[in-house]
Amino acid sequence: MLKIALVGYGNIGRFALKALEAAGDMECCGVVRRSASAEGCPELSGYRIVKDPRELGSVDAAVLCVPSRLVEQTASEYLSLGISTVDSFDIHSEIFDMRSRLDAIAKANGAASIISAGWDPGSDSIVRALLRALAPEGITYTNFGPGRSMGHTVVAKSVPGVKDALSMTIPEGKGVHSRKVYVETQPGADFAAVAAAIKADPYFASDKTDVEQVADVPALNTLMHGVDIEREGVSSQTLGQEMEFRMRINNPALTGQILVGAARAVCARTPGCYTMIEVPPIDFLEGGAEELIRSLV
Amino acid sequence: MLKIALVGYGNIGRFALKALEAAGDMECCGVVRRSASAEGCPELSGYRIVKDPRELGSVDAAVLCVPSRLVEQTASEYLSLGISTVDSFDIHSEIFDMRSRLDAIAKANGAASIISAGWDPGSDSIVRALLRALAPEGITYTNFGPGRSMGHTVVAKSVPGVKDALSMTIPEGKGVHSRKVYVETQPGADFAAVAAAIKADPYFASDKTDVEQVADVPALNTLMHGVDIEREGVSSQTLGQEMEFRMRINNPALTGQILVGAARAVCARTPGCYTMIEVPPIDFLEGGAEELIRSLV
């Protein structure tokens, strides 16, 4: 059994624990939380909760369930301890450079890291690589949603007069997206002014944005998200090859599952830092090579 | 530039050559044909045509474009010469055992082999592995077609009274397929008897089969095929995750393209025999790691 530590226990961490519990070849050997407490989380009873990973003894890999902006610092710290890491760092433009920096730390400490192991970046990256292999020239459209956009929701919440908000990404097709923002205003706030301020924010200004006033944002409870990746391209100088990948999924449940598959894969890597497209797909899976090849190939 | 030899020059070989010509990092260093002749193939002028691969000097990899039943023998021969190979061997039930045998030969001769590098088995195998990683429990339906079934066409052609035939695989959904067989009868043949004989053949007996008489089978000219792989499964103990991959493609053009990507990947392998799910997706692609990671991850 691979010994896996969870680092952070928010939305993603909760689902990663469920994925670990469902895996037959791994076990959660502890949860690292700043509070070192299981308070309010009855499902953590029976697990070791610690403040410092060194309290857990030997660990095969750590699943970092921390916000993206804390990933590099946390990964560096664990890799420096010789503990391999996986994360779902999602700032696309910074991935390559972070990989270079973590690669050096991982190699210096005999550990490995798989970064950006969520669904986008992550499994969608594998799909994009596969579609490129099938049709090296062509156009790919990535359509997200409908689903909650974390970044846009944070921005909408920060507008003066907003009590609570939810920003949904709506796919309009061919890679174009619009925004639907549900807003609960503060008492006395002018909804028209709030809506105008949201639409004027740089996060929203370039997209078609519809703002709707609602009485209760938390009641618009959804974890569902989706993606539709379409490619039309050229294989062997033959035009018109059409391929598409789409899914409709519970967002944190899928992220937790992918992280746990990546934790399995990272334990089989030589030291260094990898993105998911640099890892053989079979390594994410539970089971022996013979059974997997017989059933999947 | 990687030096790639083509072995066999039928339908797949012609498209593999087009894919090689479109690649910026590989070149066709020769075509191995029993006839050692380019007769009837003006596009081969300018390429070396040989009977024996040893006439080509140093070769980085050979793309085997030979029928499945000749793959193992041909691969063994090339691997024994220290030449890495790729093929699109498509008999699913024999892949694992063939991989074991070729693995030993490859390792003994310092060469590598990627087998079953078509679209199914091949890229569809990567999709099935990815869907298993996203949702380890669940049901996958693989729906093929509409498209020509080579095996069923051969069987239909062999029925007495048949001059020519084409058997199409028709997807009925949820992994169920029916057959549509177009038949051109021999002069004097009884179509009703021919249709009954086709339907009674073990290849067709268990599927819904429709047989239609036509005047000219070659006029039903199609290379298009397709697949729709649907999975509904469980991620992190959360049910109802839905994902789907589908494509509509020129069949030999896609196979030729995948073989050429596999030829690139096999040059980066340590000795041994691999299926596509055992290879990092990035290795199939032209370009440096930095550009690929920045644009795809």
CA A1/CA A13 separation, integer angstroms: 20
Tell me how close the Cα of B131 comes to any Cα of chain A, in angstroms.
9
Query: Chain A residue with minimal CA distance to B264?
Result: A133
What is the CA A151 to chain-centroid distance, rounded?
Answer: 13
Over residues A254-273, mean pLDDT? 98
pLDDT at A24 over 90: yes
pLDDT at A20 over 90: yes
Which of A15, A116, A281 is the closest to B277 by Cβ?
Answer: A281
CA B123/CA B247 separation, integer angstroms: 11
Cross-sheet strand order for the sheet of B176-185: B147-148, B162-173, B176-185, B209-213
Confidence of residue A294 (pLDDT cuts 50, 70, 90): very high
Cβ pair B74, B66 in contact under 8 A: yes
Write down the mean pLDDT value for chain B: 96
Question: Over the stretch A207-243, which tens digit does the pLDDT of each residue have?
Answer: 999 999 999 999 999 999 999 999 999 999 999 999 9
Query: Chain B residue with minimal CA distance to A241?
Result: B249
Confidence of residue A150 (pLDDT cuts 50, 70, 90): confident
Run of H or E including B236? none
* Chain A partners within 8 Å of B243 (Cβ): 245-249
Write down the mean pLDDT value for chain A: 96
pLDDT at B151 over 90: no
Residues 6-35 in A contacting B (C-alpha not used; CB under 8 Å): 15-16, 18-19, 21-23
pLDDT at B66 over 90: yes
CA A95/CA B297 separation, integer angstroms: 8
- Apex CA B9: angle with CA B4 and CA B11, to 5°? 115
Cross-sheet strand order for the sheet of B224-235: A137-144, A224-235, A238-250, B238-250, B224-235, B137-144
Cβ pair A80, B285 in contact under 8 A: no
pLDDT at B150 over 90: no
What's the ipTM? 0.95
Contact B293 A280 (CB under 8 A): no
Contact B95 A297 (CB under 8 A): yes
pLDDT at A33 over 90: yes
* Chain B partners within 8 Å of A22 (Cβ): 136-137, 234, 236-237
Residues 251-290 in A contacting B (C-alpha not used; CB under 8 Å): 252-254, 256-258, 260-261, 275-282, 284-286, 289-290
Over residues A110-134, mean pLDDT? 98
pLDDT value at position B131?
Answer: 98
pTM (global) more than 0.90: yes
Cβ pair A170, A148 in contact under 8 A: no
CA A225/CA A115 separation, integer angstroms: 21
Contact B241 A253 (CB under 8 A): yes
Tell me how close the Cα of B12 comes to any Cα of chain A, in angstroms.
10
pLDDT value at position B185?
Answer: 98
* CB-count exposure of residue B85 (10 Å: 0-12, 13-18, 19+): buried
Confidence of residue A151 (pLDDT cuts 50, 70, 90): confident
Q: 3-state class of B251 per DSSP?
A: helix
Tell me how close the Cα of A266 comes to any Cα of chain B, in angstroms.
13
Count of CA atoms in the C-beta half-sphere (13 A) of A88: 28
Token pair, residue A107, equals 């190699």
Tell me how close the Cα of A194 comes to any Cα of chain B, in angstroms.
36
pLDDT value at position A153?
Answer: 93
Tell me how close the Cα of B297 comes to any Cα of chain A, in angstroms.
5
